[in-house]
Structure 1
Amino acid sequence: MSLDAWIAIGVVLTIFPLMALSRLGPDIILLGAVVLLMSLGVIDPQQALGGFSNSGLFTVAFMYVLVASIRETGGIDLIIRYVLGHPVGERGALTRLLLPVASLSGFLNNTPVVATYIPAVMSWSQRLRLSPQRLLMPLSFASILGGTVTLFGTSTNLVVHGLLIDRYPELEMGLFDLAWVGVPVAIAGLVYLIMLGPRLLPAREGVAKAFANPREFTIEMEVEPEGVLVDRTVEEAGLRHLQELFLIEIERAGNVVSVVGPGERLKGGDRLVFAGTSDAAVELQQIRGLRPSRDATSNLEKEFKERRLVEAVVSDQCQFIGQRIRDGHFRTLYGAAVLAICRGGERVTGNLGQVRLQAADVLLLEARPPFIERHRQSKEFLLISELNGSARPVHEKAPLAWGILLGAVLLAALGVVSILNAAMLGAALALLTGCCSVSAAKRGLDTQVLLTIAASFGVGAALESSGAAEVLANGILAMMVGNPLLLLIATYCVVSLLTELVTNNAAAVIIFPVVMSAAESLGVNLMPYVIAIMFAASASFLTPIGYQTNLMVHGPGGYRFSDFLRVGGGLNLLAGVIALSLIPLVWPF
Structure 2
Amino acid sequence: MDAITDLGWQGWLSLGLVALSFALFLRSRLAPDVITSGALTVLLVTGVLTPVEALAGFANPGMLTVAVLYIVVSGLKETGAVGWIGQTLLGHPKGETNARLRLMLPVAGLSAFLNNTAVVAIFIPAVTDWAKRHQLSLSGLLMPLSFASIVGGTCTLIGTSTNLVVNGLYSSQSGGLSFGLFELAWIGLPLMLVTLVFILVSARWLLPNRVAASTRFEDVRRYTTEMLVSTDSPLAGKSIEAAGLRQLPGLFLVEIERDGQIMPAVSPQVLLASGDRLVFAGMLDSVVELHRIRGLVPATNQVYKLGGPRQERCFVEAVLSNKCPLVGVSVREGHFRGYYNAVILALSRNGERVQRKIGDIVLEPGDTLLLETRPDFVLQQRNSKDFLVVSQFGDEHPLHHERAPIAIAIVATMVGLVAFELLSMLEAALLAAGAMILTRCTPDRVARREPDWQVLIVIATSFGIGAALEKTGAAALLAGSLIELAGGIPWLALGLLFVAAAVLTALATNNVAAVLLFPVALDSARLMDVSVIPFLVTLMVGASASFATPIGYQTNLMVFNVGGYRFSDFIRIGVPLTILVGAVTVTLVPMIWSF
Same fold flag (TM > 0.5): yes
Are 1:530 and 2:530 matched, yes or no?
Answer: no
For structure 1, the 5+ residue unaligned runs are 216-247, 256-295, 309-334, 336-365, 374-389
In structure 2, C-alpha distance between the alignment counterparts of 1:93 and 1:424, rounded to whole Å: 37
User: 1:203: how far off?
Assistant: 2.3
Are 1:299 and 2:351 matched, yes or no?
Answer: yes
In structure 1, C-alpha distance between the alignment counterparts of 2:532 and 2:389, rounded to whole Å: 53
Counterpart mapping for 1:75-474 below 5 A = 75-169=81-175, 171-212=177-218, 214=220, 252-253=321-322, 299=351, 304-305=368-369, 368-373=390-395, 392-474=398-480
Cα-to-partner distance string for 1:242-301 (whole Å, 9 max, x where unaligned):
xxxxxx99774498xxxxxxxxxxxxxxxxxxxxxxxxxxxxxxxxxxxxxxxx985387
TM-score, length-normalised on structure 2?
0.71
Q: Compare 205-214 and 476-485 and name the one that shifted more.
A: 205-214
2:546 to 520, 534, 540: 540
Q: Compare 49-58 and 20-29 and name the one that shifted more.
A: 20-29
User: 1:199: how far off?
Assistant: 3.5
8 Å CA contact 1:214–1:301 kept in 2: the answer is no
Counterpart in the other structure of 2:248: none
In structure 2, C-alpha distance between the alignment counterparts of 1:477 and 1:202, rounded to whole Å: 40
1:564 to 564, 570, 578: 570
In structure 1, C-alpha distance between the alignment counterparts of 2:135 and 2:48, rounded to whole Å: 59
User: 1:105: how far off?
Assistant: 0.6
| 3-state SS in 1 of match to 2:157 | coil
Distance change in 2, residues 1:427/1:298 (3 Å):
same
| 3-state SS in 2 of match to 1:305 | strand
Q: Which residue identity is paired with 1:584?
A: P
In structure 1, C-alpha distance between the alignment counterparts of 2:177 and 2:587, rounded to whole Å: 22
Cα-to-partner distance string for 1:187-235 (whole Å, 9 max, x where unaligned):
11112222322342222332343223649xxxxxxxxxxxxxxxxxxxx
In structure 2, C-alpha distance between the alignment counterparts of 1:531 and 1:367, rounded to whole Å: 54
Distance change in 2, residues 1:113/1:560 (3 Å):
same
Cα-to-partner distance string for 1:355-391 (whole Å, 9 max, x where unaligned):
xxxxxxxxxxx98552512xxxxxxxxxxxxxxxx75
8 Å CA contact 2:349–2:368 kept in 1: the answer is no
Q: Which residue identity is paired with 1:444?
A: E
Q: Which residue identity is paired with 1:395?
A: H
Q: Which residue identity is paired with 1:78?
A: W
8 Å CA contact 2:79–2:399 kept in 1: the answer is yes
User: 1:93: how far off?
Assistant: 1.4
In structure 2, C-alpha distance between the alignment counterparts of 1:117 and 1:130, rounded to whole Å: 15
In structure 2, C-alpha distance between the alignment counterparts of 1:297 and 1:65, rounded to whole Å: 40
In structure 2, C-alpha distance between the alignment counterparts of 1:509 and 1:567, rounded to whole Å: 27
In structure 1, C-alpha distance between the alignment counterparts of 2:351 and 2:371, rounded to whole Å: 11
- Count of matched residue positions in the alignment of Structure 1 and Structure 2: 446
In structure 2, C-alpha distance between the alignment counterparts of 1:83 and 1:102, rounded to whole Å: 12
User: 1:471: how far off?
Assistant: 2.1
User: 1:469: how far off?
Assistant: 1.5
1:489 to 488, 495, 503: 495
Q: Compare 528-537 and 463-472 and name the one that shifted more.
A: 463-472
Distance change in 2, residues 1:59/1:568 (3 Å):
same
8 Å CA contact 2:157–2:181 kept in 1: the answer is yes
In structure 2, C-alpha distance between the alignment counterparts of 1:40 and 1:23, rounded to whole Å: 26
In structure 2, C-alpha distance between the alignment counterparts of 1:454 and 1:510, rounded to whole Å: 12
User: 1:541: how far off?
Assistant: 0.8
Matched-pair identity in %: 44
Distance change in 2, residues 1:26/1:160 (3 Å):
same
User: 1:76: how far off?
Assistant: 1.3
User: 1:503: how far off?
Assistant: 1.3
| 3-state SS in 2 of match to 1:3 | helix
User: 1:477: how far off?
Assistant: 2.1
Cα-to-partner distance string for 1:443-491 (whole Å, 9 max, x where unaligned):
1111111111111111111111112222222222222221111110110
2:586 to 547, 564, 580: 580
Cα-to-partner distance string for 1:115-137 (whole Å, 9 max, x where unaligned):
22111111211211112112111
| 3-state SS in 2 of match to 1:583 | helix
In structure 2, C-alpha distance between the alignment counterparts of 1:395 and 1:466, rounded to whole Å: 54
User: 1:186: how far off?
Assistant: 0.6
Q: Which runs of 4+ in 1 moved over 3 A?
A: 212-215, 248-255, 296-303, 366-369
Q: Which residue identity is paired with 1:62?
A: V
8 Å CA contact 1:90–1:198 kept in 2: the answer is no
1:16 to 7, 11, 22: 22
In structure 2, C-alpha distance between the alignment counterparts of 1:31 and 1:368, rounded to whole Å: 38
In structure 1, C-alpha distance between the alignment counterparts of 2:475 and 2:438, rounded to whole Å: 45
8 Å CA contact 2:131–2:137 kept in 1: the answer is yes
In structure 1, C-alpha distance between the alignment counterparts of 2:323 and 2:197, rounded to whole Å: 54
In structure 2, C-alpha distance between the alignment counterparts of 1:518 and 1:368, rounded to whole Å: 60
In structure 2, C-alpha distance between the alignment counterparts of 1:301 and 1:469, rounded to whole Å: 65
In structure 2, C-alpha distance between the alignment counterparts of 1:15 and 1:204, rounded to whole Å: 33
Distance change in 2, residues 1:297/1:69 (3 Å):
closer
Distance change in 2, residues 1:249/1:394 (3 Å):
closer
TM-score, length-normalised on structure 1?
0.72
Distance change in 2, residues 1:28/1:207 (3 Å):
closer
8 Å CA contact 1:51–1:57 kept in 2: the answer is yes
Are 1:34 and 2:40 matched, yes or no?
Answer: yes
| 3-state SS in 2 of match to 1:558 | coil
Distance change in 2, residues 1:163/1:94 (3 Å):
same
Q: Which residue identity is paired with 1:100?
A: P
* Two-structure CA RMSD over aligned residues (Å): 2.5
Q: Which residue identity is paired with 1:370?
A: Q
In structure 1, C-alpha distance between the alignment counterparts of 2:26 and 2:188, rounded to whole Å: 28
Q: Which residue identity is paired with 1:473?
A: A
Distance change in 2, residues 1:205/1:72 (3 Å):
same
8 Å CA contact 1:307–1:368 kept in 2: the answer is no
| 3-state SS in 2 of match to 1:465 | helix
8 Å CA contact 1:51–1:458 kept in 2: the answer is yes
